[in-house]
Structure 1
Amino acid sequence: MSSARVEALLAAMTLEEKVGQLGVFADMVRPFNPDVNPETNARNADQVLDEIRAGAVGSLFNGYGVEAGRRLQKVAVEESRLGIPVILAADVIHGMKTVFPIPLGEAASFEPDLAQHTARATAVEATASGVHWTYAPSVDIARDQRWGRGAESAGEDTFLSCAFAAARVRGFQGDDLRSPDALLATPKHFAAYGAVAAGMEYATVDISPQTLRDVHLPPFKAAIDAGALAIMSSFNDINGVPASANAWLLTDLLRGEWKFRGVVVSDYTSDMELIAHGYAEDERDATRRAILAGLDLSMQSGFFANHLPALVESGEVPIERVDEAVRRMLTLKETIGLLDDPYRSLDLAREADRSWLDAHDALAREAARRSIVLAKNDGDVLPLRSAGRRIALIGPFASDRDNIEGCWTLFGDKSRYVSWEDGFRAAMDDAALLDVVAGCAPEAPLDGGIEAAVEAAARADVVVLALGEPQNYSGEAQSRVQITIPPAQQALADAVAAVGKPVVVLLRNGRALALEGAVRDADAVLVTWFLGTQSGHAVADVVFGHYSPSARLPVSFPLASGQQPYFYNHTRTGRPETPEMSEFKARWREIPNEPLYPFGHGLTYSRFEYGDVELSTSELAWGDTLEVRATLTNTGTRAAEEVAQLYIHDRVASRVRPVRELRGFAKVRLEPGERTTVRFTLDLEALAFSGADGVRRAEPGTFDVWIAPNCKAGKPASFKLGPARG
């Protein structure tokens, strides 16, 4: 139910003013980055202010700054007829001035609480810069690593993604949405954007209703349950119907089943793209289809402004549908306190305050090092001793500061970025023992680069290769065919490895990669993602042993690019790849049906031993709960954190079930020789799935259950779920 104030405003509005509340346009009054989207429906600052004055703009996006923000809000409140304030939005994805690890990297921490803290810090900085609303978090499930926007996601697993989706919403929004530092969250992209065919950006999604419900929709529901009041429709179609005009998705499911009461905003011009899809005949038809399907706000296309009034006057769009959308937008503004305080989050003194700086730098360093995955450490080459050893730091990212942020970072304070070289020099007892050689550019050779790198490697006791993807290889419109490092870097790695010194690879990446040659065969591999502001210090903390790595892979690293889409929780096949099967089995000719590094994989600087899985009962009665436990022992020589992971498998069901499914995780810190019992609880919901009829339910039968360090490890126990009662 909306308030009396909202209803009074609605009753006083002309049709044009109502339509104005449904338009979201680029903020050309404040600093704006035009390179993040194609230019469409361009306006200058004076035009934007004139439209605000006329009540024709409800929201602006991707500008920042308090002084100009107060100027445009003053026009809205004091110079427009009804004085309705504008809500100011921005793509603040994984940091504002302080940049935190890309969401995929942060998901590797397996610590949703960490994501809540970094989202809260981001909200503090964004709102201090005059932003009310962020278009985040991205909660897409990324099962195909060719797709570039997996960098914005929490990876390939639904259970893990749900935990991070809810945590990020809570972090952005805080405890009180009317607080000056509350930042409205917008889970996106609704829905199944991560399932685009062949990992191709903006492509089609052809998907079963059961997979849609069990894999791709739950993180959105988790975000809504955590308090999200806005949601963004995706670019893709779902089974032939574009998401931005999909009535089943935006109305039947979202409003009907889920009872969502917030606003649905289009992605950038996604209503316009209904024409290119071939789903709408022209602009007018696209507008009609989008709003009738349940889209409330049109971003940047201008279609609603240009065509809704005539559509209402002709009777093709009922005024009640427009009122419904406007009511939701006004209620959103009221909920965050804008109708009471139009200058909320537009405080010059707060913008100038930098008292948060040290705390946010410390949090950025902690988040970064907790996101680093130790994928390989043969011979315990890591951690490195910084005393008395000459280290050759070789590669295009050794001193680089241009590829630290990762994708979708519009507002980062680049003056604070710490390179890997900076981090190493600060951590070493004698920085003169560090030789730094680029060897090649990120995508091309350098004259004499390999020769200089080989000479440095020959002088060194250990080689650290700073390799990976340039940051523009991941993110929107960055689909790849070969998910390998660029050839120039591969050639550098192969030449340096031939010198014969111990080799450590620091891998900078926005997706799982297919590692080859000397990179794959290095003595140690650290997956460092794009770690943000404190990248150099965080990597040095791990490399030199000041922090024992504790992160785990949220995506499977394949043996080859051609395995994509590869994900651990694939369903069983009638001809699995097992030793007793002949050649006629589920495999490729060249490689086994296995990853290089599986989902959940990650090492520490210690050793952990898992005891047998124990169950509170072997016969789970319908409606009861089951405790699953195992003893975890640190058998190594230093304190470290282990991520114990709970997996299940339903042996026989009415739909073929995944070989394993994550249903719990716990990060546990143990001293050398210390042991503890890790405990998880399973209930009917954890065992349920969507049946052929679309109804989610558990089915009686036998289940296997593991507590293990990754999705391929461990010895299972089993239990039986009894029949439904009554």
Structure 2
Amino acid sequence: MRTALILTLLLMIAGCTNLRSNKTESEVDVICEWGTQKFDLCQFKSYDDMIEALIAEMTLDEKIGQMTQSVWHNNVSPEVIRAKNIGSIIHTQGPTPGPNAIDWVNKFDEFQSSALQTRLGIPLLIAVDAVHGQNTFEGAVIFPHNIGMAATRNLGLIKQAAQITASEVAGTGFNWTFSPCIAMPQHEHWGRVYEGFTEDRDLTTAAVIASVRGHQGSNLANRNTIAATAKHFIGDGATEGGVEGGNAVMTDELMRERYLPPYAAAVDQGVAAIMVGFNSYNGLNMHQHTHLVTDVLKNELGFQGVVLTDWNGGLRFGEPHKVINAGIDMAMQPGNHEEFMSKLKLSIIDQTVPMSRIDDAVQRILAMKFSLGLFSEPFAKRELSLSVGSKAHRAVARQAVRESLVLLKNDNQALPLDASEPIAVVGTHANNSGLQSGGWSINWQGQTHSYAGATTILEGINSVSSNVEYAEKGCYAGMQAQKAVVVVGENPYAEGVGDSDELWLSDEHKALITGCKNLNKKVIVILISGRVLVINQDLNNSDAFIAAWLPGSEGGGIADFLFAIDGFKPTGKSPYSWPVEFADIPIAPYAEHALFKFGYGLQDY
């Protein structure tokens, strides 16, 4: 009986939501039995009226459940979803539902079915950190990280990459992504530099508009769109010393002039959610910053969507009531949801948290679910699973790679390469898609081995030329090739693990460059990195030097660049200024004394 009532409710709400666009009140005459009450759904002229009726029916436990998000494989099961009325689940580091996209769809549909079996049948939000493609699924297309996408200066391509990401995210069972990251990193030490687009406010603002439009389209309820999340509000890339989760010290005037505009743009574009940062702002953690979250983001900017904590944010930064009273609507609790829920409930009962704050949070969460069309079509978009990792999607990512590459130097006619000449390819990074993709690639911290579906840089070069020698450990006497493509760079990292003072190439990688140069080779260096590094010595020992950032799964795009396939010429422009020496770090945006200024990039060979 309950299942039948739920399905009836879903079907009727599906019809009534159409009142917004193509139905009139007189065309619908439906009475729904809902629990022990009856509701004339045809009196509802908007989502707001439907949501108000839902909130009036909900128990306190059901409301708290909607405000709680947890990891599906960590103390959460379909049975827990039903028992605790949890409103959202996420996928992150850990077990996967299986090797195929349809396995993921099946698993998350199982959780969705459980949500629909609760008393009110409110569907789940199912989220993932798809920050450069559906990067948690092996076989999906992985785009260059945001630092590379900004180097393209191609806003249409940024939007198209987000559209493809949305399709592949939906095709693996999700309806929500925690991207784009719109930090404007100010310190090269920070381990998340590559997650931000650029140091430049205006380019960041343009990129977030393109990204949100790509992910969400013109209608969140479309089959190939998902909810986007702007993060991490606010100042996450401006902490002292570039420390992940550190303290951003600045005047309110600077915050408003520099860091707030991209968020204002995201709000104007209707971004569904905003995630607050681990960082503090002038000593107060963002998870407790009532002024910035409620007064500025919600009241001043008029943000109507969901404000979300970062990982364990409902407990990590103090008691839940402090976080919720600050204006946070949903807490991401990785398996410790029961502690969060029980503590929040007590603080509501003793009126530490007013019911008006709870109802506001639940209203926002339900509004997001209605906007996504989950009350009419709660289950995953199975047809999209067939195009995950498709050739058409990979072609766009390959274009993004070649447009993202920034040519910093090209002397002695080192480039473009001629497919008929002998070529040496040097370095482990050249033949390892894990190394070329960076963090947030299949695993949270990335990986040091190749993954399914990707093309390595070497494989891309081999697809163009049959006269290639792979010399992983370096050039040697007697080597036939007179040109050596030396691929060097950072190993993968994510978040605070990537915070570092060693912002230069390792001795081993420096030796790969100098070893080839000492043998009188023309040395073409490809730098794989999530940030600008100190490269003066390496630049001097090269004939050509390319900042390749973290290109992702399509190494063929680098071959397109090297060989000028189809007449391609360099287009990438640096999204950051480059330090001359380590003492320059942190190098100020647009620094005049930079080795390469913001926007630098040779536009011809």
User: Same fold, TM exceeding 0.5?
Assistant: yes
CA shift at 1:495, angstroms? 2.3
- Describe the superposition over 1:251-301 as per-residue Cα deviations: whole angstroms up to 9, x where unpaired: 1101111011111000001232224xxxxxxxxxx2111111101111015
Indicate whether 1:596 and 2:582 are aligned. Answer: no
Which structure has more relative contact order (CA 8 Å, sep 6+)? It is 2
Indicate whether 1:320 and 2:356 are aligned. Answer: yes
Indicate whether 1:455 and 2:491 are aligned. Answer: no
Q: Following the alignment from structure 2 to structure 1, what is the Cα–Cα distance between the partners of residues 389 and 410?
A: 37
Q: Could you tell me which residue of structure 1 aligns to residue 510 of structure 2?
A: 490
- Is the contact between residue 128 and residue 177 of structure 2 (CA under 8 Å) also seen in structure 1? yes
**Corresponding residue to 2:199 among 141, 156, 160:** 156
Q: Could you tell me which residue of structure 2 aligns to residue 357 of structure 1?
A: 390
Indicate whether 1:229 and 2:272 are aligned. Answer: yes
Q: Following the alignment from structure 1 to structure 2, what is the Cα–Cα distance between the partners of residues 516 and 331?
A: 53
Q: Following the alignment from structure 2 to structure 1, what is the Cα–Cα distance between the partners of residues 129 and 222?
A: 20
Q: Could you tell me which residue of structure 1 aligns to residue 574 of structure 2?
A: 553
- Is the contact between residue 513 and residue 523 of structure 2 (CA under 8 Å) also seen in structure 1? no
CA 1:196–1:224: 2 relative to 1, 3 Å: same
CA shift at 1:475, angstroms? 4.5
- Structure 2, unmatched stretches of 5+, are 1-45, 98-103, 135-139
- Is the contact between residue 242 and residue 499 of structure 2 (CA under 8 Å) also seen in structure 1? yes
CA shift at 1:355, angstroms? 8.3
CA shift at 1:60, angstroms? 0.3
CA shift at 1:520, angstroms? 4.0
Indicate whether 1:400 and 2:432 are aligned. Answer: yes
- Is the contact between residue 189 and residue 242 of structure 2 (CA under 8 Å) also seen in structure 1? yes
Q: Following the alignment from structure 2 to structure 1, what is the Cα–Cα distance between the partners of residues 593 and 581?
A: 10
Q: Could you tell me which residue of structure 2 aligns to residue 38 of structure 1?
A: none
- Describe the superposition over 1:368-387 as per-residue Cα deviations: whole angstroms up to 9, x where unpaired: 10111111112332112221
Q: Following the alignment from structure 2 to structure 1, what is the Cα–Cα distance between the partners of residues 58 and 375?
A: 15
**Helix, strand or coil at the partner of 1:525:** strand
Q: Following the alignment from structure 2 to structure 1, what is the Cα–Cα distance between the partners of residues 315 and 279?
A: 13
- Is the contact between residue 373 and residue 526 of structure 1 (CA under 8 Å) also seen in structure 2? yes
CA shift at 1:76, angstroms? 1.1
What amino acid sits opposite 1:454 in the alignment? Answer: Y
Q: Could you tell me which residue of structure 2 aligns to residue 50 of structure 1?
A: 79
CA 1:468–1:194: 2 relative to 1, 3 Å: same
Indicate whether 1:127 and 2:170 are aligned. Answer: yes
CA shift at 1:554, angstroms? 0.1
More strand per residue: 1 or 2? 1
What amino acid sits opposite 1:394 in the alignment? Answer: V
More helix per residue: 1 or 2? 2
Indicate whether 1:435 and 2:459 are aligned. Answer: no
CA 1:147–1:214: 2 relative to 1, 3 Å: same
**Corresponding residue to 1:543 among 562, 570, 577:** 562
CA 1:143–1:116: 2 relative to 1, 3 Å: same
- Describe the superposition over 1:71-125 as per-residue Cα deviations: whole angstroms up to 9, x where unpaired: 11111112x1111111101011111211111110111001111100000011011
Q: Any residues of structure 2 matched to 1:93-492 within 5 Å, and which?
A: 93-96=131-134, 97-275=140-318, 286-300=319-333, 301-302=336-337, 303-343=339-379, 346-351=380-385, 353-354=386-387, 357-387=390-420, 389-410=421-442, 414-428=451-465, 431=466, 433-439=467-473, 453-455=475-477, 458-472=479-493, 475-492=495-512
CA shift at 1:55, angstroms? 4.2
CA shift at 1:489, angstroms? 0.8
Work out the number of aligned pairs and report it: 535
Q: Following the alignment from structure 2 to structure 1, what is the Cα–Cα distance between the partners of residues 536 and 470?
A: 23
CA 1:354–1:257: 2 relative to 1, 3 Å: closer
Q: Following the alignment from structure 1 to structure 2, what is the Cα–Cα distance between the partners of residues 356 and 405?
A: 16
Q: Could you tell me which residue of structure 1 aligns to residue 112 of structure 2?
A: 73
Q: Following the alignment from structure 1 to structure 2, what is the Cα–Cα distance between the partners of residues 212 and 569?
A: 18
Q: Could you tell me which residue of structure 2 aligns to residue 625 of structure 1?
A: none
Q: Could you tell me which residue of structure 1 aligns to residue 59 of structure 2?
A: 14
- Is the contact between residue 104 and residue 554 of structure 1 (CA under 8 Å) also seen in structure 2? yes
Q: Following the alignment from structure 2 to structure 1, what is the Cα–Cα distance between the partners of residues 265 and 382?
A: 35
- Is the contact between residue 150 and residue 475 of structure 1 (CA under 8 Å) also seen in structure 2? no
**Helix, strand or coil at the partner of 2:324:** helix
Q: Following the alignment from structure 1 to structure 2, what is the Cα–Cα distance between the partners of residues 206 and 520?
A: 37
Q: Could you tell me which residue of structure 1 aligns to residue 129 of structure 2?
A: 91
CA shift at 1:484, angstroms? 0.6
What amino acid sits opposite 1:172 in the alignment? Answer: H
Indicate whether 1:522 and 2:522 are aligned. Answer: no
Q: Could you tell me which residue of structure 1 aligns to residue 70 of structure 2?
A: 25
Q: Following the alignment from structure 1 to structure 2, what is the Cα–Cα distance between the partners of residues 2 and 533?
A: 41
- Describe the superposition over 1:199-235 as per-residue Cα deviations: whole angstroms up to 9, x where unpaired: 1111111111122111212111111112202100000
Q: Following the alignment from structure 1 to structure 2, what is the Cα–Cα distance between the partners of residues 272 and 229?
A: 24
CA shift at 1:15, angstroms? 0.6
- Is the contact between residue 429 and residue 488 of structure 2 (CA under 8 Å) also seen in structure 1? yes
Q: Following the alignment from structure 1 to structure 2, what is the Cα–Cα distance between the partners of residues 118 and 342?
A: 25
- Structure 1, unmatched stretches of 5+, are 29-41, 276-285, 440-449, 571-592, 607-726
What amino acid sits opposite 2:387 in the alignment? Answer: R
What amino acid sits opposite 1:504 in the alignment? Answer: I
CA shift at 1:2, angstroms? 5.5
- Is the contact between residue 124 and residue 181 of structure 1 (CA under 8 Å) also seen in structure 2? yes
| CA RMSD, 1 decimal | 1.9
CA shift at 1:406, angstroms? 2.1
- Describe the superposition over 1:25-79 as per-residue Cα deviations: whole angstroms up to 9, x where unpaired: 0022xxxxxxxxxxxxx41xxx43222112431100116711112211111112x
Q: Following the alignment from structure 2 to structure 1, what is the Cα–Cα distance between the partners of residues 168 and 604?
A: 35
Q: Following the alignment from structure 2 to structure 1, what is the Cα–Cα distance between the partners of residues 596 and 579?
A: 7
CA 1:347–1:168: 2 relative to 1, 3 Å: closer
What amino acid sits opposite 1:605 in the alignment? Answer: D
Q: Could you tell me which residue of structure 2 aligns to residue 697 of structure 1?
A: none
**Helix, strand or coil at the partner of 2:497:** coil
- Is the contact between residue 490 and residue 519 of structure 1 (CA under 8 Å) also seen in structure 2? no
What amino acid sits opposite 1:15 in the alignment? Answer: L
**Helix, strand or coil at the partner of 1:463:** strand
- Is the contact between residue 140 and residue 153 of structure 1 (CA under 8 Å) also seen in structure 2? yes
- Describe the superposition over 1:278-333 as per-residue Cα deviations: whole angstroms up to 9, x where unpaired: xxxxxxxx211111110111101535412121111111111111111111111111
TM-score (norm 1): 0.71
Q: Following the alignment from structure 1 to structure 2, what is the Cα–Cα distance between the partners of residues 347 and 222?
A: 29
Q: Following the alignment from structure 1 to structure 2, what is the Cα–Cα distance between the partners of residues 169 and 191?
A: 18
Query: Which structure 1 residue ranges, 4+ long, deviate > 4 Å from structure 2?
Result: none
**Helix, strand or coil at the partner of 1:189:** strand
- Is the contact between residue 276 and residue 310 of structure 2 (CA under 8 Å) also seen in structure 1? yes
**Identity over aligned pairs, percent:** 31
**Helix, strand or coil at the partner of 1:11:** helix
Q: Following the alignment from structure 1 to structure 2, what is the Cα–Cα distance between the partners of residues 564 and 84?
A: 50
Q: Following the alignment from structure 2 to structure 1, what is the Cα–Cα distance between the partners of residues 242 and 161?
A: 29
What amino acid sits opposite 1:383 in the alignment? Answer: P
- Is the contact between residue 263 and residue 325 of structure 1 (CA under 8 Å) also seen in structure 2? yes
